[in-house]
Structure 1
Amino acid sequence: MAYKEKGTKRRLRSSYITSVISISLVLFMLGLMGLLILNAQQLSNYVKENIGVSIILKKNVKEVEIRRLQKTLDATNYVKATQFVDEETAAKELQKELGEDFVSFLGYNPLMASIDVKLYAAYANPDSIAKIEKDFTKYNPVQEVYYQKSLVHLVNDNVKRIGLILLAFSALLLIISFTLINNTIRLSIYSQRFIINTMQLVGATRSFILKPFMGKSLVHGILGALIANAMLSGVIYISQKELSQVITFDNVEILGILFILILLLGIFITWISTLFAVNKYLRLESRSLY
């Protein structure tokens, strides 16, 4: 008898550990999706702000005029950064890309000086850039404005498409997560169905039977959420170290809200799943348990 009780306790302990690990892994996946959504806008801004607009300058423009134009551009509310590129630098960069000395072949440098402009993400869309292009051409030293229109359209279309996909995937992942945690808890409760039935036979009330299971589900939910948050903290640390230029987690308040949401979600899903699972076996007759 003692050996049997010991074996039962071991199975229950194993069931609890499996349940906590399963819950933590599912919550971790939800947390990763949360981090991705939080940084989706940041990643979108990073891509948009790396779309280059080149202002080609006229020949023989004085350095004073170039400096004045650059300062004027920097003062506008849509320009993030500017960089002056002279003829020699432009030729060297093109030679690197082509792998050939085209200046020696032609006998002269056909390239002109330019100012490379990086726009803020809010203005890096086709309509805004078209208006900005008109503004740039009004300046006297400017000969023409060049940017890849197809790239601008492609980036903006893909950003919108990815945003919709992320929302749809998040909803799907939430449903899958609830299902996985629910099934894990139902299996755990299934292994204790005879205990529930025995408690009913000796006259225990529904609330008395539910209480220990609900308490354990609360503990499992909290433990699973804490483990998931710990793993997410590790992911954040590694991301900050390896991808600091692309992804930053400076907003502590938003991260705090995400961690609290994972904790509340872990508690809610385990609590509601346990409630349904125990009530199911409370309604079953003894012969239906086999």
Structure 2
Amino acid sequence: MAQKENGSKRRLRSSYITSVISISLVLFMLGLTGLLILNANQLSNYVKENIGVSIILKDNVKEVEIRRLQKNLDATEFVKATEFVDKETAAKELQKELGEDFISFLGYNPLQATIDVKLYAEYANPDSIAVIEKDFTRYSQVQEVYYQKSLVHLVNDNVKRISLILLGFSAILFIISFTLINNTIRLSIYSQRLIINTMQLVGATRGFIRKPFIGKGLLHGFLGALIANAMLSGVIYLSQQELRQVITFNNTELVGVLFLLIILTGLFITWISTLFAVNKYLRLESRSLY
């Protein structure tokens, strides 16, 4: 008899551990999606701000005028950064890319000095860049403004598309997460259906029977959320080490809100799932339990 009870306790303990692990893994996936959403805008800005606009300068422009132009550009609200590339530097970079000395072949350097401009993300769209291009060409030192129009359109279209896909994926993942946690809790309570029936037979009220199950469910949800948050903290740390330029988590308040939401989500899903599962077996007749 004692061995049977010990075996039953071990199975029950194993069921609890499985439940907590399952909940933590599902909440971890939800948390990863949350982190991705938090950084989606930052990733979008990173891509947009790396779209280069090249201002090709006239041959007779003096260095003093170039520096003055560069300062004027830096002072505008839409320019994030500028970099002056003289003819010699441009030639060296092209030689490195081509792998041959084209200057010796041609007998002269055909390249022109340029100012490479990086725009702020909110201005890195086709309409804004078209207006900025006209603004740049007004300067007397500028011969031509060059940028890849097709790339600008492609980046902006893909950012919108990815945002919609991400929102849809988040909604689907939440539904799947709810279903997985709900099924895990249902299986856990199914193994205790006879205990529920026995408590009913001795006259226990439904509220009295629900209380310990809901308490354990909330505890499992809380523990699962803590484990999920611990794993997410590891992901954040590794991301900061390996992808610092692309992904940052400087806004600790938002990360804290995400962790709190994971805990609340774990508590809510386990509470509602436990409530429905226990109520199901409270309504069943004794002969339907087998």
Category of TM-score, reference length = shorter chain = over 0.9
Residue in 2 that maps onto 1:90: 90
Name the CA distance, whole Å, in 2 between partners of 1:223 and 1:184.
Answer: 15
Residue in 1 that maps onto 2:42: 42
Residue in 1 that maps onto 2:26: 26
Q: Which amino acid aligns with 2:116?
A: D
Range with bigger deviation, 178-187 or 99-108: 99-108
2:237 is equivalent to residue 206 of structure 1: no
Name the CA distance, whole Å, in 1 between partners of 2:210 and 2:4.
Answer: 25
Q: Which amino acid aligns with 1:157?
A: D
2:143 is equivalent to residue 132 of structure 1: no
Name the CA distance, whole Å, in 1 between partners of 2:88 and 2:70.
Answer: 19
Residue in 2 that maps onto 1:266: 266
Residue in 2 that maps onto 1:53: 53
Residue in 1 that maps onto 2:240: 240
Pairwise CA RMSD = 0.5
Residue in 2 that maps onto 1:222: 222
SS at match of 2:59: coil
Residue in 1 that maps onto 2:191: 191
Q: Identity, % of aligned pairs?
A: 86
Q: Which amino acid aligns with 1:106?
A: L
Residue in 1 that maps onto 2:117: 117
Q: Which amino acid aligns with 1:264?
A: L
Task: Give aligned pairs, total.
Answer: 290
Residue in 2 that maps onto 1:16: 16
- After TM superposition, give the deviation of residue 166 of structure 1 in Å: 0.2
Name the CA distance, whole Å, in 2 between partners of 1:253 and 1:288.
Answer: 50
Name the CA distance, whole Å, in 1 between partners of 2:161 and 2:14.
Answer: 44
SS at match of 1:129: helix
Range with bigger deviation, 20-29 or 88-97: 88-97
TM-score, length of structure 2 as denominator length: 0.99
Q: Which amino acid aligns with 1:80?
A: K
- After TM superposition, give the deviation of residue 97 of structure 1 in Å: 1.3
1:176-187 equivalences under 5 Å are: 176-187=176-187
- After superposition, the C-alpha distances for 1:149-195 in whole angstroms (9 at most, x for unaligned) are 00000000000000000000000000000000000000000000000
Q: Which amino acid aligns with 1:190?
A: Y
- After superposition, the C-alpha distances for 1:191-244 in whole angstroms (9 at most, x for unaligned) are 000000010111110001000001001100100000000000000000001110
- After TM superposition, give the deviation of residue 46 of structure 1 in Å: 0.3
- After superposition, the C-alpha distances for 1:91-147 in whole angstroms (9 at most, x for unaligned) are 111111111211111110000000000000000000000000000000000000000
SS at match of 1:24: helix
Name the CA distance, whole Å, in 2 between partners of 1:98 and 1:214.
Answer: 69
Name the CA distance, whole Å, in 2 between partners of 1:154 and 1:99.
Answer: 30
Structure 1 moving runs of 4+ over 2 Å: none
Range with bigger deviation, 92-101 or 187-196: 92-101
Name the CA distance, whole Å, in 1 between partners of 2:114 and 2:230.
Answer: 49
Name the CA distance, whole Å, in 1 between partners of 2:27 and 2:173.
Answer: 10
- Where structure 1 has 5 or more consecutive residues not aligned to the other structure, the ranges are none
Name the CA distance, whole Å, in 1 between partners of 2:171 and 2:95.
Answer: 50
Name the CA distance, whole Å, in 1 between partners of 2:54 and 2:105.
Answer: 25
Name the CA distance, whole Å, in 2 between partners of 1:270 and 1:88.
Answer: 67
Residue in 1 that maps onto 2:285: 285
Name the CA distance, whole Å, in 1 between partners of 2:151 and 2:92.
Answer: 24
SS at match of 1:80: strand
Q: Which amino acid aligns with 1:61?
A: V
Q: Which amino acid aligns with 2:34?
A: G
TM-score, length of structure 1 as denominator length: 0.99
Name the CA distance, whole Å, in 2 between partners of 1:264 and 1:209.
Answer: 24
